[in-house]
Amino acid sequence: MEMKMDSAALQAFLDRDFPQVSSDFEFEEVAPPFVTMALAASEKHLRPGGTVSGPSMFALADVCAYFCILSVLGPVGLAVTTNCSIDFMRKPQPGRLLCRMELLKLGKALAVCEGRLFSEGAPDKPVARASLTYSIPPSA
């Protein structure tokens, strides 16, 4: 799959279209069909005990899938999540939480991504796995 937006282009898109959350996420690697992002966890993402909350993990998977699609599709602002299935498997370690997402299918109407969340340095002990479907607007 050919790359239409690189890390800098995706970052600019994130900053412009999602200013409220853009400081929460960082691009680690953009190499279609893979995109890896990190959660820059702050107080609001944590549960008592310092564990990253489920909704924060969902948010990381969702945004990573979105930019995984855009990296190949180009700057289309209207793709929307239609389904997510997520399995939480282990407690995250303290430190950075990464998500590596793969674009499995980019059709005319639907895109499907699958990926894993893991604590930095421990990709073989995934904290969670997620699969997401996005609906692509007809004009895209």
40 binds a copy of itself, rule: CB under 8 A? no
d(CA 71, CA 94): 29
Interacting residue with a copy of itself among 88, 93, 122, 140 (CB under 8 A): 88
Structure tokens belonging to residue 140? 């895209």
**Which residue, among 47, 5, 26, 45, has the nearest Cα to 99 in the 3D structure?**
26
Q: Which region, judged by CB under 8 A, interacts with a copy of itself, from 6-14, 67-75, 92-100, 104-112?
A: 104-112
Interacting residue with a copy of itself among 29, 42, 74, 90 (CB under 8 A): 90
* Minimum separation from the CB atom of position 68 to a copy of itself (A): 14
* Minimum separation from the CB atom of position 63 to a copy of itself (A): 9
The Cβ of residue 102 has, within 10 Å, a number of other Cβ atoms equal to: 16
What single-letter DSSP state applies at residue 80?
E
86 binds a copy of itself, rule: CB under 8 A? yes
12 binds a copy of itself, rule: CB under 8 A? no
Residue keyed to tokens 């969902």: 58
Nearer to a copy of itself, 12 or 85 (CB): 85
Long-range contacts from 55-60, C-beta under 8 angstroms, 24+ separation: 57/86, 57/88, 57/92, 57/97, 57/117, 57/127, 57/128, 58/84, 58/86, 58/130, 59/21, 59/24, 60/25, 60/97, 60/99, 60/117
Interacting residue with a copy of itself among 50, 55, 74, 121 (CB under 8 A): 55
Q: Which region, judged by CB under 8 A, interacts with a copy of itself, from 6-14, 34-42, 75-83, 93-101?
A: 75-83
17 binds a copy of itself, rule: CB under 8 A? yes
